[in-house]
Chains A and B, each alone.
Chain A
Amino acid sequence: MGSLQSSPSHQDYVDLAEKTGFSFEQISILHKRFKQLSHNEDKLRREHFGQITDLHANPIREQIVEAFFDRRNFYQEIEEPVSEISFENFLVVMSNFRPPSDNMSQEKLVKVRKEKLRFLFNMHDTDKDGTITLEEYRHVVEELLSYYEALETETARGIADAAMLEVASITRGHMEPDEFYEGITFEHFLKLLEGFDIESRMNIRFMNMDTTTLCFLTTYRGVKSWPFQLYFW
């Protein structure tokens, strides 16, 4: 537990662990990573994410990075647009990807599920007005397909439109021609992904052991931290 003596105090750790559900070890690992990304500053800014080379190839990198600067994900009232985030915010965003723990009650599971979906919803809803409009949805699909060069945007739009039609028909059923479906609200979003077991999908494994020292940022990526077999469980 030597890592506990690094910058945040023990009490901070307890608070953070309570708030996010991470274990002390996980928090200390993530904290190390945070410091690594921010070059030992207390705040993380957008350009820091730009150093992660692996992220460059990700078609939805902008949305991912934006999610870290989305004040709706922090559970606190911040008015002005966020330009830098603290470790706590970083951790709170990360906590959305925590796997549900073993013996969770049914209600708790529903809550987790809702939170995860809310996170996704916020990623899509870029103008933060509570609905995903067709334009926003199209943007999502276009981004998703963006790394296939030779692809007309028309196809992406076609898919988004079809998907939107599906949403409208699932949530509204019948619509008169002169009615207007303004966009996907969160309730509709929940309904839409009813059969999608997000709680068992939107998880990543947070290491309990310190591996960050093995993963260097931009320059050196020769050492691949962990033995293979762990990743396939």
Chain B
Amino acid sequence: MPSRMGARAPAGFARSFWELGLLLLLVFVLLQGSVFPYGADASSQHAKDGCSSTHEGKPNRTKKVFPVLSFEYDHIKTPFEVSLWVLFASLMKLGFHLVPRLSSIVPESCLLIVVGLLVGGLSKLIGESELPKLDSGNFFLVLLPPIILDAGYFLPIRPFMENLGTILMFAVVGTLWNAFFIGSVLFAVCQIPAAGLTHLGLLSCLLFGSIISAVDPVAVLAVFEEIHINELLHILVFGESLLNDAVTVVLYHLFEEFSAFGTVTVLDGFLGVISFLIVAFGGVLVGAIYGILAAFTSRFTSHMRVIEPLFVFVYSYIAYLSAELFHLSGIMALIACGAVMRPYVEANISHKSHTTIKYFLKMWSSVSETLIFILLGVATVGGPHNWNWIFVTSTVFLCLVARVIGVIGLTFIINKFRIVKLTTKDQFIVAYGGLRGAIAFSLGFLLEVEDEEMRHIFLTAIITVIFFTVFVQGMTIKPLVELLAVKKKQEAKRSINEEIHIQFLDHLLTGIEDICGHYGHHHWKDKMNRFNRKYVKKWLIAGERSKEPQLIAFYHKLEFKQAIQLVESGAGGKLSSALPSTVSIQNIQPKKPPPAPEPRERVLPQLPKSREEEIRKILRSNLQRTRQRLRSYNRHTLVADPYEEGLNDLLKKQKMFELEKKIKEMNNYLSVPVATSDSPTLRRARLASGRQTDFKPDEQQNGKKQTSDPQAYNVKPDPVDVPTIQVELASPQSPDSVNIMDEFRKDKEKDEDTGLTMKLPSGPSAPPRKQSEEEDAKDPQKLTRCLSDPGPSADEGEDDPFLP
């Protein structure tokens, strides 16, 4: 790595120089923390001197001049330093991604640890001893929860459940095996007189083994997120790291208890098993209860959207704390809470709240992660160490060996039951991905043993293992994945066809299992789904969405994405780019005869049903709602919805596109002016929304009063009387403008003619929706005219067999 750094010295050097400067500055500021009090005293002393000198005549001690500027660092010390650390960590994170290619070679976690080491080293050089430690209390109560919640909330439930058996096997049996293997072999090693550790008892060694054996979710997440491995392997390693928490907690407490007394009975082992079950299932139960509570609460938040995300965070945190209260597995509680609440909460909350939750979780977890790694580095330098060569090397070695044996042995058993077998490559990655991290370190810190020296030995060994796994394994796993050609994660662009087939397969397999007459995985899943649909959703999801099947929900998501793309893609001219190609519904419509003989079909391609649906749905579900919301603008409601902005934008652009198209048509036909050629999609979308408003005329009118459509102003020029026939080939612009004016004039007239329900007196503010209906009616006319075949044929229903 150093050679690479050297190769592109100029840029990298300047940047790292800058970073170093920044680092130094921050460190300096931090270090000032403890010096400041003196400074503050001095300055206030000075101020006092100053005032005493100016006001010598009145030596009244009680009455001082009001201090214009005062200084009191202690007052803000803690939050200030915490903020500085967070800022520092974030800046570091930012800095790494400024340095090109660095982040692709070295995992971020390694860099952060190095930064921590540097900070620790610097402070040691200066002689500062007041650096924040990776305090176990803070770690478990503040730093860890965001990461776990992030993991739990966004846990891919389907692969998780499908591989639950394997994950549990690795998490429970694997961790137990690791703990006992490492512990007992270490005890044997300690008996070698040369090591000088003969005073270490078996129970202490087992305690150490239980601490060091657990795979760490923070480290795994940090590394695995960068290597983009396939879903199965990711969920195996990651799921293991999450679920082994219960085992670790129980083993830890068990051995801590026993090592104080020094004896273990069979009863103790039995109680340990019971305790494990209680810790694990209790944690899950606590989490699930809070998750259901959160889901239930979110059912009623439709009037208070701004605090929706808060419920998710607070309920989860309370779940974590409640679990920790009884020494249950807090991690399991958080995972369960997040996973249980998510489907219901997401159905209830607004899209914005969902985005907020996502970003907050990601932000918190990444800041926590950064802080954890930096503090780990700092603690490495700052902490007391007792380096025992034999103990440390044998620990690292045993960790590796135990992991490999454990994975291979367990996979041998598991593969007998799995439908999709784990290959040798998979086993290798699972074994290699067993990274240890800050949880082990914090547990080691928490150790209460009389023998301080033993604790230091343990801590040193733990840190070494962490460094070894994070640096060596973390850095080499990426090249190894590529070398072994392990299947990577596909860029998941799930198509609607795949979604249909996923659902189809679910039912198919359930059906086949039923025919075979045994109740398998699919059978139970189906039962659960049924139960969920019948009872749970009704209680936890407000309104209509509780009845929405998954496929529809997926479809809506897809629609929404496409609509956003539609808006983003700019002019309506690119409408077709929202869908992958120019294929339209007409191409797949079986009822229609091949439309070749009909020229109007060729001119006006049929509207793709999906697009129509898409826009209509959005218009229906969102425009009215947001308009209502806009009415009350206060601190507690959010201003405009992006939907609406997007839609206005879309409509605006559509209008522009109309103009362009008109220009084109002018050039093409050079004949009688045509009526506006709205794009079919939008035309129909407007028509649809217009139709929608027919059902709710009141609401519509309200809406109209609230927001005048801006695009109406955009395009409407002053009406001028001009000839309608244009033959100028050379300058397309002028005929165009002329014609538009003409048309708009006509539109207005027509508006007045056909007294529709939603009429506004003034022409310019006539909503485009209204217009579009007119345009729609005129469309066939236009086309026939283009073909110099005059005569209106206003059967608008003919060309859209899809509209209900």
Q: Would you call A99 and B420 a contact (CB within 8 A)?
A: yes
Q: How far is the CA of A135 from the CA of B589 in the complex (A)?
A: 9
Contact of A200 among B420, B516, B548 (CB under 8 A): B420
Contact of B555 among A33, A102, A162, A207 (CB under 8 A): A162
Q: Would you call B581 and A173 a contact (CB within 8 A)?
A: yes
Interface flags, B151-164, vs A, CB<8A=1, else 0:
00000000001101
Stretch of A2-10, A54-62, A70-78 with 4 or more beta carbons under 8 angstroms from chain B: A54-62
Q: B504 — nearest CB in chain A belongs to which residue?
A: A144
Q: How far is the CA of A37 from the CA of B414 in the complex (A)?
A: 33
Residues from 24 to 66 in A contacting B, C-beta threshold 8 Å: 30, 33, 36-37, 49, 52, 54-55, 57-61, 63-64
Stretch of A11-19, A79-87, A163-171 with 4 or more beta carbons under 8 angstroms from chain B: A163-171
Asked if B46 is an interface residue, CB under 8 A from chain A, the answer is: no
Q: Would you call A64 and B508 a contact (CB within 8 A)?
A: yes
> Which applies to chain B's interface (DSSP): helix, strand, loop or mixed?
helix
Q: B162 — nearest CB in chain A belongs to which residue?
A: A232
Name 12 interchain pairs, CB-CB below 8 A, sorted by A. A52-B515, A151-B549, A159-B555, A163-B500, A174-B582, A177-B606, A180-B587, A202-B505, A225-B518, A229-B165, A232-B164, A233-B165
Q: Would you call B590 and A133 a contact (CB within 8 A)?
A: yes
Q: Would you call A166 and B523 a contact (CB within 8 A)?
A: no
Residues from 167 to 216 in A contacting B, C-beta threshold 8 Å: 167-170, 172-175, 177-183, 192-193, 195-196, 198, 200-207, 211-212, 215
Asked if A112 is an interface residue, CB under 8 A from chain B, the answer is: no
Q: How far is the CA of A138 from the CA of B526 in the complex (A)?
A: 23
Contact of A170 among B526, B530, B580 (CB under 8 A): B580
Q: Closest Cβ of chain A: how far from B495's Cβ, in Å? A: 6
Q: Closest Cβ of chain B: how far from A1's Cβ, in Å? A: 21
Asked if A130 is an interface residue, CB under 8 A from chain B, the answer is: no
Q: Would you call A177 and B613 a contact (CB within 8 A)?
A: no
Report chain A residues within 8 Å CB of B802.
161
Specify which of B507, B514, B517, B518 lies most central, judged by the most chain A CB atoms within 10 Å of its CB: B517
Report chain A residues within 8 Å CB of B519.
215, 224-226, 231
Q: How far is the CA of A9 from the CA of B349 in the complex (A)?
A: 63
Q: How far is the CA of A204 from the CA of B552 in the complex (A)?
A: 27
Q: How far is the CA of A57 from the CA of B305 in the complex (A)?
A: 38
Q: A90 — nearest CB in chain B belongs to which residue?
A: B515
Asked if B7 is an interface residue, CB under 8 A from chain A, the answer is: no
Q: A179 — nearest CB in chain B belongs to which residue?
A: B587
Report chain A residues within 8 Å CB of B513.
204
Residues from 575 to 611 in B contacting A, C-beta threshold 8 Å: 579-590, 594-596, 601-602, 605-606, 608-610
Q: Would you call A165 and B588 a contact (CB within 8 A)?
A: yes
Q: How far is the CA of A160 from the CA of B513 in the complex (A)?
A: 27
Residues from 134 to 173 in B contacting A, C-beta threshold 8 Å: 161-162, 164-166, 168
Q: Closest Cβ of chain A: how far from B526's Cβ, in Å? A: 8
Q: Closest Cβ of chain A: how far from B499's Cβ, in Å? A: 9
Q: Would you call B507 and A58 a contact (CB within 8 A)?
A: yes
Contact of B516 among A133, A164, A202, A204 (CB under 8 A): A204
Q: Would you call B508 and A178 a contact (CB within 8 A)?
A: no
Report chain A residues within 8 Å CB of B610.
158, 161-162, 165
Given contacts A161-B610, A168-B588, A177-B601, contact A211 B504 (CB under 8 A): no
Asked if B64 is an interface residue, CB under 8 A from chain A, the answer is: no
Residues from 481 to 516 in B contacting A, C-beta threshold 8 Å: 490, 495-498, 500-505, 507-516
Tier of interface size on chain B:
35 or more
Report chain B residues within 8 Å CB of A54.
510, 514, 523
8 nearest A-B pairs in the assembled complex, by CB-CB distance: A233-B417, A162-B610, A169-B581, A54-B514, A232-B165, A233-B165, A64-B511, A231-B521
Asked if B421 is an interface residue, CB under 8 A from chain A, the answer is: yes
Q: Would you call B495 and A166 a contact (CB within 8 A)?
A: yes
Report chain B residues within 8 Å CB of A233.
165-166, 414, 417-419
Q: Closest Cβ of chain B: how far from A150's Cβ, in Å? A: 6
Q: How far is the CA of A181 from the CA of B507 in the complex (A)?
A: 29
Report chain B residues within 8 Å CB of A36.
517
Given contacts A169-B583, A170-B580, A181-B587, contact A58 B514 (CB under 8 A): yes
Q: Would you call B514 and A52 a contact (CB within 8 A)?
A: yes
Asked if B28 is an interface residue, CB under 8 A from chain A, the answer is: no
Interface flags, B102-144, vs A, CB<8A=1, else 0:
0000000000000000000000000000000000000000000
Report chain A residues within 8 Å CB of B585.
161, 165
Q: Would you call A215 and B583 a contact (CB within 8 A)?
A: no
Q: How far is the CA of A52 from the CA of B608 in the complex (A)?
A: 42
Q: Would you call B517 and A33 a contact (CB within 8 A)?
A: yes
Given contacts A64-B512, A64-B515, A177-B586, contact A195 B498 (CB under 8 A): yes
Q: Would you call B517 and A120 a contact (CB within 8 A)?
A: no
Q: Closest Cβ of chain B: how far from A200's Cβ, in Å? A: 5
Residues from 684 to 707 in B contacting A, C-beta threshold 8 Å: none
Q: Would you call A120 and B587 a contact (CB within 8 A)?
A: no
Contact of B583 among A151, A154, A165 (CB under 8 A): A165
Q: Would you call A164 and B509 a contact (CB within 8 A)?
A: no
Asked if B713 is an interface residue, CB under 8 A from chain A, the answer is: no
Contact of A145 among B165, B495, B551, B581 (CB under 8 A): B551
Q: How far is the CA of A99 from the CA of B421 in the complex (A)?
A: 10
Q: How far is the CA of A232 from the CA of B417 in the complex (A)?
A: 9
Q: Closest Cβ of chain B: how far from A41's Cβ, in Å? A: 16
**16 further contact pairs, Cβ within 8 A, besides A141-B551, A204-B512, A204-B522:** A57-B530, A60-B507, A63-B508, A102-B415, A145-B549, A148-B547, A161-B609, A172-B583, A192-B495, A200-B420, A204-B516, A204-B520, A226-B518, A226-B519, A232-B165, A232-B168
Q: A170 — nearest CB in chain B belongs to which residue?
A: B580
Q: Closest Cβ of chain A: how far from B58's Cβ, in Å? A: 85
Asked if B804 is an interface residue, CB under 8 A from chain A, the answer is: yes
Q: Would you call B419 and A200 a contact (CB within 8 A)?
A: yes
Contact of B496 among A33, A148, A163, A204 (CB under 8 A): A163
Report chain B residues within 8 Å CB of A201.
502, 505
Q: Would you call A196 and B501 a contact (CB within 8 A)?
A: yes
Q: Closest Cβ of chain B: how far from A12's Cβ, in Å? A: 20
Asked if B524 is an interface residue, CB under 8 A from chain A, the answer is: yes
Report chain B residues within 8 Å CB of A37.
515
Contact of A206 among B495, B516, B580 (CB under 8 A): B516
Q: Closest Cβ of chain B: how far from A229's Cβ, in Å? A: 6
Q: How far is the CA of A167 from the CA of B514 in the complex (A)?
A: 32
Q: B418 — nearest CB in chain A belongs to which residue?
A: A233
Report chain A residues within 8 Å CB of B500.
140-141, 144, 159, 163
Q: How far is the CA of A162 from the CA of B166 in the complex (A)?
A: 38
Given contacts A177-B605, A178-B594, contact A211 B518 (CB under 8 A): yes
Q: Would you call B516 and A166 a contact (CB within 8 A)?
A: no
Q: Would you call A60 and B417 a contact (CB within 8 A)?
A: no
